[in-house]
A and B are shown apart, each in its own frame.
Chain A
Amino acid sequence: MLVLPALCALAFLVTPLIGLLVRTPWASLSDRLFSAEVGTALRLSLICATCATAICLVLGIPLAWLLARAQLPGRGVIRALVTVPLVLPPVVGGVALLLVFGRRGLLGQYLYDWFGVSLPFTTPGVVVAEAFVAMPFLVISVEGALRSTDTRYEEAAATLGASPWYTFRRVTLPAIAPGVIAGGVLCWARALGEFGATITFAGNFPGRTTTMPLAVYLALETDPDAAIVLSLVLLLVSVAVLVSLRERWIRGAV
């Protein structure tokens, strides 16, 4: 009774990917792959996703530490808030970012008045949008890793004269490294595929804010073959991420 729907589900998940491969213009693949537009979009995507991941690491690890270790009142509420971008439609995230960081936004007006900085429709804006959407992946993964470590090692470090910061660097961080790497890779993959918040907050300006997913969307109307090639690249990246994480993510051991 279960086999038929299961096979249907599998087919449903796999067929679009096969379709993508079938329709790929293999003959002109290398030309398109190394064309200027694809190159620009790909480079912009990689740079923005990497910057967003760096921001998530720098800010997200301390947040995860706070959630896992500190005696916080209302920890559950804070964790729920952290995961909001995970379930929020990305477009809504983009709108929210515009309202805050837009030139007349809550914070954006001061950023512009005082520093002349305006984030929307710029490359840094892409990074902000991606970091907003991807941060929960990192925080959840790192918090899980922190919770599963034995805090007695940190106590042992303290008795050896290690300051909390030294202990964090030399004992805690190496212990949670697999979780940080897994979270970082997921975060990066999510940032790379980000569409809704990016197009809302940063718009679609080739060379500045047109990342790969946006380029796919643009190309679909003008040059479907280019869209397929771009999609193929994103698919390959996804598969690579999946392979690198298969131990941790698929077994649910993050």
Chain B
Amino acid sequence: MTLRAELEVRRERFRLDLSLSVAPGEVVALLGPNGAGKTTALRALAGLVPLTGGRLTVADAVWDEPPGVFVPPEQRQVGVVFQDYLLFQHLSALENVAFGLRARGLRRAQARAHAADRLERVGLAEHAHATARTLSGGQAQRVALARALATDPQLLLLDEPLAALDAGTRMQVRADLSRHLRDYRGHTVVVTHDPLDAMVLADRLVILEQGTVVQQGAPAEIARRPRSDYVADLMGLNLFRGTADGTGVEIDNGGHLTVATPATGRVFLAFPPTAVSLHLQQPTGSPRNSWPVTVGGLEHHANLTRVRLDGAPPVLADITSAAVADLRIQPDMRVWAAVKATEIHVYPA
């Protein structure tokens, strides 16, 4: 009953090559920067873009296997929530939800009854007869979800389902969406560039960069052990590649760090910016790593200040605003950065 996909889509100057499997009831998030091929992958799963190579099967049915097999979108058991929802503007919320059922030949009364039930489940029963263009962003998102689920698809695809919402409604809609996805028994693939959406909604993350998978795993695992600068940046971690020999690690782009857990060979080192402290003189005592750095830039976030530090290695530090004031931190200032060995997470590259 699993969805198995070897998606290969070649275009001029772009190539998507993605291997994906989704178990029933599982929610997989495709996470990646703009242009990574997330939406192309989603369109290939929906049948809106034919594969140029590979194979897509859901349960025992082959949906796409060039050159011989291509099941067009209208014959796939698929539901899609598009980025800006694409509700049919001339129809009411109810008619939008009933559209897929009518298209599959259900009688009007039956389709409407079923659609009304779907709308009630997303809490929009009283907006059933509102036209699509009068709905708020959050309501439109829920109608789009109800419409996609109305035909009981085997595969549910969501393209940036929360991107069009403002910050206020986003949190609530994200929580609701998460609950609906838990209840859904089919396969779900969510495309997003927002790590928080991915973490909350998905059981497993697949990180896509330039058309290929750079990392996949449970959200907690990816948050702890990023394997690319893009992921480290998303998760807000300092990430270095280096060569370990015991507790000493030679960093690839300059510098040397001491870690608590011995390792050998190629490793990743990761630690949060909050683990970095700044000092005017070279700190002494305890097994610390310290090295001279130059303050590159400052950015205020709530009660913390993020300091970009150039040195060997360059590093991000989050320090309190009080510390910024005490140390009189300003750009181009020479300071010492320090990180405890025990704060550094080491894992094989």
Contact = CB atoms under 8 A, between A and B. Distances in A.
Given A166-B103, A170-B99, A159 B73 contact: yes
Interface string A157-180: 111111110100011001100000
Nearest to B150: A160
Contact of A163 (B79, B103, B148): B103
B78 A159 contact: yes
B347 interface: no
Contacts of B86: 150, 152-153, 155-156
Contacts of A156: 80, 82, 86, 88
Interface in A163-212: 163-164, 166, 170-171, 174-175
B48 interface: yes
Nearest to A171: B88
A104 to B, nearest CB: 48
Given A152-B82, A157-B103, A158-B48, A163 B74 contact: yes
Contacts of B102: 170
Contacts of A164: 74
Interface residues of A, number: 18
A170 B73 CA distance: 17
A171 B96 CA distance: 11
Q: Which DSSP category, helix, strand, loop or mixed, fits chain B's interface?
A: mixed
Contacts of A155: 48, 73, 86
B151 A158 contact: no
Contact of B80 (A159, A162, A166, A171): A159
Contacts of A150: 86
B90 A157 contact: no
Contacts of B103: 157, 160-163, 166, 170
Nearest to A174: B90
A20 B76 CA distance: 65
A128 B54 CA distance: 53
Interface residues of B, number: 24
Interface string B102-128: 111000000000000000000000000
Interface in B59-101: 72-76, 78-80, 82, 86, 88-90, 99-100
Contacts of A163: 74, 103
A171 B147 CA distance: 15
Contacts of A157: 88, 99, 103
B82 A158 contact: no
A39 to B, nearest CB: 40
A134 B103 CA distance: 35
Contact of B79 (A159, A162, A174): A159
Contact of A160 (B47, B72, B89, B99): B99
B99 A159 contact: no
B145 interface: no
A160 B99 CA distance: 7
Interface string B259-297: 000000000000000000000000000000000000000
Contacts of A160: 74, 79, 99-100, 103, 147-148, 151
Contacts of A161: 74-75, 100, 103-104, 151
B187 to A, nearest CB: 15
A170 B102 CA distance: 10
A155 B46 CA distance: 10
Nearest to A155: B48
B152 to A, nearest CB: 11
A162 B74 contact: yes
B88 A153 contact: yes
The 6 closest A-B pairs by CB, nearest first: A160-B100, A162-B103, A158-B73, A156-B86, A159-B80, A174-B90
Interface of B: 46-48, 72-76, 78-80, 82, 86, 88-90, 99-100, 102-104, 147-148, 151
Given A160-B74, A163-B103, A171-B88, 15 more contacts: A153-B88, A155-B73, A156-B82, A156-B86, A157-B99, A157-B103, A160-B99, A160-B103, A161-B151, A162-B74, A162-B103, A164-B74, A174-B88, A175-B89, A175-B90
